[in-house]
């Protein structure tokens, strides 16, 4: 079993480098090895490797920058993904690809199903939806995992930013009218490996697994409540904080204008992935607590 991974240095990519070797031989590529803007090189790397699974954790993820950088975001999130899908189809390989809750407009107040109608309200979400559509149109065997609010102990993300600001500031204002669920990159990588292991084991009709899945933990929260949770956990672990939880104040999205609009409600219903792959998905707090204690260990080390 050979697996070709793109985006190996990203939040999810880094954790896939830990979990995918359990499944087979892993060939990892970061941006310097294969730049997804170079479609000839991308095609060549797939043909040279002839993988059973192509796993694409690379993406243009700068949501606000994408508003002014449509061409590049489209190249990485749609054109490169389409090429991977067409190559996967030719090789009869699987394409494992990640997408986002930002394909939804957030106008509902019930968790989005895989069958819910996407309607992105920012460029990033729109380019990611074009990537999804290209995978489906190619008819390759695929798993598209839509996930949300990704964090890890590596790279920059909301959780790490809040914990850093909590050691520098004595007051914070955080948006409270966007509801979703924070998802650990480690959790995404573990579930990805579990799903690939099941496909691998299945001698009959593994193609039945092919499709779109919502991959996020259970539960829901606003950015404001997530920030309060992180600071509370950090307090419990005796981080040296300058910020008290009582000094985090909720504000509306309109009081915190950003280049890209964000959906107000982007929760993903995760029933399909749990039922299809017989998984028990934990509450988001499980991995969020783990992150805080890992960051504490790093502080001590």
Ligand X SMILES: NC(=O)c1ccc[n+]([C@@H]2O[C@H](COP(=O)([O-])OP(=O)(O)OC[C@H]3O[C@@H](n4cnc5c(N)ncnc54)[C@H](OP(=O)(O)O)[C@@H]3O)[C@@H](O)[C@H]2O)c1
Which of 36, 88, 134, 221 touches ligand X by CB under 6 A?
36
Burial category of 9 from C-beta neighbours within 10 Å (exposed 0-12, middle 13-18, buried 19 and up): middle
Mark whether 209 is an active-site residue.
Answer: no
Q: Does 148 bind ligand X (CB under 6 A)?
A: yes
Residues 6+ apart with CB under 8 A from 241: 166, 167, 231, 234, 235
Residue closer to ligand X (CB basis): 59 or 239: 59
The residue from 27, 37, 197, 241 that contacts ligand X (CB under 6 A) is 37
Cβ 72 to ligand X, closest distance in Å? 8
Does position 98 bind ligand X by CB under 6 A?
A: yes
Q: How far is the CB of 88 from ligand X (least distance, A)?
A: 16
String marking each residue 247-276 x if it binds ligand X according to CB under 6 A: ------------------------------
Taking the complex as a whole, the smallest distance from the CB of residue 247 to ligand X amounts, in Å, to: 26
Provide the 10 A C-beta neighbour count for residue 253.
Answer: 16
Contact region for ligand X (CB under 6 A) — 55-63, 84-92, 161-169, 266-274? 55-63
Q: Return the SS3 of 79.
A: helix
Q: Which of 124, 151, 209, 224 is catalytic?
A: 124
Please report the DSSP string for 5-56 in residue order.
EE-TTSHHHHHHHHHGGGTSEEEEE-TTT--TT-HHHHHHHHHHH--SEEEE
Burial label, 168 (beta-carbon count in 10 A; 0-12, 13-18, 19+):
exposed
**Strand pairing class (221-222; 179-180):** antiparallel
For ligand X, the binding residues in 159-178 under the rule CB under 6 A are none
Query: Which of residues 158 and 277 has its CB atom nearest to ligand X in the complex?
Result: 158
Query: Of the ranges 51-59, 233-241, 246-254, 277-285, which one interacts with ligand X (CB under 6 A)?
Result: 51-59
Report the chain's terminal Cα–Cα distance, integer Å.
37
What is the distance between the alpha carbons of residues 185 and 11, in angstroms, rounded to a whole number? 6
In angstroms, what is the minimal distance from the CB of 36 to ligand X? 4
Beta-bridged to residue 97, according to DSSP, are 56, 144
255, burial (CB in 10 Å: exposed 0-12, middle 13-18, buried 19+): exposed
According to the binding rule CB under 6 A, does residue 149 interact with ligand X? yes
User: Whose Cβ is closer to ligand X: residue 61's or residue 176's?
Assistant: 61
Out of 4, 5, 12, 143, point to the residue binding ligand X (CB under 6 A): 12
Q: Rounded distance, CA 35 to CA 31, Å? A: 5
Using the rule CB under 6 A, is 53 a contact of ligand X?
no
| Residues labelled catalytic | 124
**What are the residues binding ligand X (CB under 6 A)?**
7, 9-13, 31, 35-37, 57-61, 76, 98, 100, 128, 147-150, 155, 185
């Amino acid at each position: 079993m050979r697996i070709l991974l793109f985006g190996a240095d990203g939040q999810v990519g880094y954790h896939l480098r830990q979990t995918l070797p359990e499944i087979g031989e892993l060939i990892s590529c970061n941006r310097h090895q294969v730049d997804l803007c170079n479609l000839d090189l991308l095609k060549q790397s797939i043909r040279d490797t002839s993988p059973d699974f192509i796993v694409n954790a690379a993406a243009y993820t700068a949501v606000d920058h994408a508003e002014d950088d449509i061409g590049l975001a489209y190249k990485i999130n749609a054109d490169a993904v389409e090429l991977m899908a067409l190559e996967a189809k030719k090789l009869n390989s699987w394409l494992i690809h990640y997408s986002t809750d930002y394909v939804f407009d957030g106008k509902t107040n019930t968790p989005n199903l895989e069958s819910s109608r996407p309607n992105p309200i920012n460029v990033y979400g729109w380019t990611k939806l074009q990537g999804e559509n290209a995978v489906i149109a190619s008819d390759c065997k695929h798993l598209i995992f839509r996930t949300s609010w990704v964090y890890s102990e590596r790279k920059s993300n909301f959780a790490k930013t809040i914990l850093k600001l909590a050691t520098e500031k004595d007051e914070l204002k955080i948006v409270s009218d966007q509801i979703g669920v924070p998802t650990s990159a480690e959790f995404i990588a573990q579930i990805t490996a579990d799903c690939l292991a099941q496909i691998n084991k299945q001698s009959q009709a593994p193609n039945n697994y092919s499709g779109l899945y919502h991959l996020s933990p259970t539960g829901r929260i606003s950015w404001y409540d997530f920030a309060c949770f992180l600071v509370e956990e950090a307090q419990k672990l005796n981080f040296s904080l300058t910020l008290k939880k009582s000094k985090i104040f909720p504000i509306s999205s309109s009081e915190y204008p950003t280049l890209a609009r964000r959906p107000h409600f982007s929760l993903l219903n995760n029933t399909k992935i749990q039922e299809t792959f017989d998984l028990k998905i934990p509450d988001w707090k499980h991995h969020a607590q783990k992150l805080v204690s890992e960051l504490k260990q790093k502080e001590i080390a």
